[in-house]
């Protein structure tokens, strides 16, 4: 896989050594057991896969190279490039401005843009409408496009099944940048609708079976369907694609439910279900899959708590917290600074994104066993900072170099 030039401020000597060793030992990525970092009274178990993915490293390389190549020019990001506060803050510090917030609210008017301005398209991609608007102003969107190739894969898959006469059901968070972009691309080819979760999927299925009158659809899914969507015919034949950072199990459950609804309603079998349900395969990105599987593997370890590092508005990170929370006490932090002391931690609720203070989060037993992972947009340096902070509570921070050396061949 291609190696990207990512600033050293995001790298970690410890994490790089661990990842290199695990990759050498498990080239086929079949061993999802965590890696033990033994500090004596503190034992940290690192997930097999975590941190920057291909798409994020690609976006960061393009963004920093763009800054270097365009001195004196106004440089804008369409919105947050990735969902990590440190990376976005670093770009702002280097003179980059945001045109919109993460929900599409305008910060800098498009009317103020000039043809010689540089506009970076974020890793989530953007809508065809915004792309056309920028191109009309003479702004080169292709040259500075950091859209993740795995997001583009979803767009391509949508177009392929659209050409075969299928509509598209998109599993994603309706306000998420990636879902908005995927909806724009899919609906340019075929009727499309967005569902957020399995509950909305169950409701959507009722319009397929006629359990609910079609007229109710347009209010229930307001803002989620393409122009001209005809509920009486556009749900008769479709495929399911997803926001690439969704929980794999959730997407599978949604796909299975809709597939079974079509089979039951139209009297189809596995042999002929393809007449009405497109085989879209899994459109999750590899990193989302690997990170979720790694957390499942990590959770097999007997531990006292889990700490998950990443941006609070990061969808893929929130899902890792969701998985951990089902098994043990879990704390979602966006930096080591949120670990206030050995007694107190400031952490976010993955549902509301609001922070809360918890006291007594570290148990009294010895050794204390902590599971650690991070999202696909989180720098390894932040994970190392968290490990150092935890180790300092056990007077073991000075062992970091020794532990790092043990992973270097």
SS (H, E, C) the chain: CCCCCCCHHHCCHHHHHHHHHHHHHCCCCCCCCCEEEECCCEEEEECCCCCCCHHHHHHHHHHHHHHHHCCCCCEEECCCCCCCHHHHHHHHHCCCEECECCCCCECCCHHHCCCCCEEEECCCCCCHHHHHHHHHCCCCCCCCECCCHHHHHHHHHHHHHHCCCCEEEEECCCCCHHHHHHHHHHHCCCCEEEECCHHHHHHHHHHHHCCCCHHHHHHHCCCCECCCCCCCCCCCCEEEEECCCCCHHHHHHHHHHHHHHHHHHHCCCCCCHHHCECCCCCCCCHHHHHHHHHHHHHCCCCCCEEEEECCCCCHHHHHHHHHHHCCCCEEEECCHHHCCCCCEEEEECCCCCCEEEEECCCCCCCCEEEEEEECCCCCHHHHHHHHHHHHHCCCCHHHHHHHHHHCCC
Alpha carbons 171 and 315: distance in angstroms, whole number: 13
50-74: burial string, b at 16+ Cβ within 10 Å, e else: bbbbbbbbbbbbbbbebbeeeeeeb
Q: Is 178 a catalytic residue?
A: yes
Helix 54-69 to helix 149-162 angle (10° resolution) is 110
Catalytic choice (178, 200, 322, 384): 178
Ramachandran region, residue 395 (left: φ > 0; alpha: ψ -120 to 50; beta: rest): left
Task: Provide the CB-side half-sphere exposure for 397 (13 A, CA).
Answer: 10
Question: Which residues are tagged catalytic?
Answer: 178
């Amino acid at each position: 896989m291609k190696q990207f030039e990512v600033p050293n401020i995001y790298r970690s000597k410890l994490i790089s050594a661990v990842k290199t060793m695990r990759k050498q030992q498990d080239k086929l990525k079949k061993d999802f057991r965590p890696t033990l970092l033994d500090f004596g009274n503190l034992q940290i178990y690192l997930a097999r896969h975590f941190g920057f993915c291909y798409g994020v490293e690609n976006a960061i390389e393009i963004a920093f190279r763009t800054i270097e190549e365009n001195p004196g020019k106004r440089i804008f990001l369409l919105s947050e490039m990735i969902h990590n506060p440190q990376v976005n803050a670093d770009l702002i510090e280097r003179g980059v401005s945001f045109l919109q917030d993460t929900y599409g609210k305008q910060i800098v008017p498009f009317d103020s843009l000039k043809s010689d301005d540089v506009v970076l398209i974020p890793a989530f991609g953007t809508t065809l409408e915004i792309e056309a608007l920028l191109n009309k102003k003479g702004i080169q969107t292709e040259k500075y496009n950091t859209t993740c190739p795995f997001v583009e894969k979803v767009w391509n898959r949508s177009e392929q099944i659209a050409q075969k006469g299928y509509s598209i059901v998109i599993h994603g968070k309706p306000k998420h940048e990636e879902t908005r972009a995927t909806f724009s691309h899919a609906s340019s080819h075929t009727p499309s609708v967005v569902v957020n979760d399995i509950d909305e999927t169950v409701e959507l299925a009722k319009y397929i079976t006629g359990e609910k009158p079609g007229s109710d659809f347009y209010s229930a899914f307001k803002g989620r369907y393409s122009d001209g969507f005809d509920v009486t015919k556009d749900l008769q034949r479709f495929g399911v694609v997803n926001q690439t950072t969704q929980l794999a199990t959730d997407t599978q459950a949604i796909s299975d439910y809709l597939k079974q609804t079509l089979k039951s309603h139209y009297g189809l079998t596995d042999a002929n279900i393809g007449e009405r349900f497109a085989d879209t395969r899994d459109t999750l990105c590899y990193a989302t899959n690997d990170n979720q599987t790694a957390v499942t593997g990590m959770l097999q370890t007997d531990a006292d708590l889990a700490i998950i590092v990443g941006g609070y508005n990061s969808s893929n990170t929130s899902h890792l917290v969701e998985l951990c929370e089902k098994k043990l006490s879990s704390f979602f932090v966006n930096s080591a600074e949120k670990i206030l002391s050995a007694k107190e931690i400031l952490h976010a609720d993955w549902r509301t994104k609001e922070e809360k203070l918890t006291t007594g989060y570290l148990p009294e037993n010895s050794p204390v066993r902590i599971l650690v992972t991070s999202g696909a947009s989180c720098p390894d340096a932040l994970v190392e900072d968290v490990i150092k902070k935890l180790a300092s509570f056990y007077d073991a921070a000075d062992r970091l170099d020794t532990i790092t050396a043990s992973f270097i061949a």
